[in-house]
A and B are shown apart, each in its own frame.
Chain A
């Protein structure tokens, strides 16, 4: 272990916080919102890999891989949705899509 686990966790926390801020701030652009989600997922992966390294078990890495696979599925669907919504309303502003309200 090159650094204490706590430092890895703190780095992950910083990344997670940044991703969260990005998601909350960029309401005018759904693509940036998705990027925030990606950053948060990367933070989670970092925790898994750090834990895996800390305890010498490969399980954490496996879950990092599974997160990655899940992310690619999620991104492909989400971007398809973005394309679809943009075609419908010609905007990527999140708050424009509020049909569920009524």
Chain B
């Protein structure tokens, strides 16, 4: 049952992403992307990472996408009459390059066979212990980076005379 669910969700994710990147209207693109991220969050849940799934919904589908939306509205980029998709000739090269990378990784992944170790579920407790015991320094650094980002954003966003 869960296996089918995975493939269904994977399909939704891929379709949502394709629609998002081909949509000419940025606001619609973001809505598609939110759909895609929701199903990705469900996949995370299936992969026994409930906490990450939750964060995906809250931070990605919630905060980050809203931030994008906010900037689009603030800069008034969402007007339907001005939105235009890149011309078709611009798509060739990127699609070819993306295709090469996709096929290569796919071949690599398909040929990669290992037996799964210890199918014991990862509890939130394990996650927390690993995060704060093993990667405590990383938490500190990340928190500092967030602080710098805030300061930088404030600096860039201030009104200049």
Direct contact between the two chains A and B in their complex (CB within 8 A): yes
Q: Footprint of B on A, CB under 8 Å?
A: 1-3, 5-11, 13-22, 24-29, 31-32, 34-36, 38-39, 42, 45-46, 49-50, 52-59, 61-62, 64-66, 68-77, 79-84, 86, 92
Residues of A within 8 A of B118 (CB): 55-56
> Is A25 a contact partner of B30 (Cβ separation < 8 A)?
no
> Is B101 a contact partner of A28 (Cβ separation < 8 A)?
no
**Residue from the set B6, B21, B29, B51 with the largest chain A CB neighbour count within 10 Å:** B21
1/0 per position for B136-161, CB-CB distance to A under 8 A? 00100010011011101100110000
> Is B94 a contact partner of A84 (Cβ separation < 8 A)?
no
A62-B130, A66-B142, A76-B153 as given contacts; A24 in contact with B14, CB under 8 Å: no
1/0 per position for B43-75, CB-CB distance to A under 8 A? 110111101100110011001100110011011
From A20, A29, A74, A84, B101 is in contact (CB under 8 Å) with: A20
Which applies to chain B's interface (DSSP): helix, strand, loop or mixed? helix
Which applies to chain A's interface (DSSP): helix, strand, loop or mixed? helix
> Is B142 a contact partner of A25 (Cβ separation < 8 A)?
no
